[in-house]
Amino acid sequence: MKRIILIWVFLGLFFLLAIQGFLKRNQDSTQMKFTEATLYFNSGRIKKIILHKDYTIQGICFPEDSIIEFYESSGKISWVHLSRECNIQGINLPGGTQIIFYESGKIAWVVLPQDWKIRGESYKAGEGVYFDKTGKIIKTSRGL
């Protein structure tokens, strides 16, 4: 009987610790509660999420089902895969676009999934467009 009681006490403590860990992760400085799929760095910071609804993160509205990764050091957005067409930092981008961000939050690079125009210039599907830290287009993968 003592053994059964000890097992129940152990299971209860284990359950409480698990809940505490979950709550601690959800109280991360970003306070993000908009996803069913979340991966964490060992530090406890959010590493990667898949949005289950449209959501604004760090001043950018991302569409539902977009995949977002974060820098571990700062917690800022590092990479995004857009699920549908979206305007980010004044640039209209098609769904399927992959975006790399500078740690400052500005767009560094995009890869287009289809032929598309950015600021009046035409780009082919699969082409990478690189931006400087002020947002100016500096080169494309077709010029590499």
Residue range 41-61: mean pLDDT, rounded = 91
* pLDDT (mean) for 104-123: 95
CA distances from 44 to 21, 34, 41, 77, 97 (A): 10, 17, 5, 16, 28
Q: Which residues are CB-neighbours of 20 under 8 A, at least 6 positions away?
A: none
Place of tokens 């500078």: 102
Q: Is the pLDDT score of 90 beyond 50?
A: yes
Q: How far does the chain reach from its first CA to its final CA, in angstroms?
A: 74
pTM of the model: 0.72
3-state secondary structure of 101: strand
| Nearest CA-CA partner of 23 in 2, 8, 44 | 44
Which structure tokens are listed for 73?
């050091």
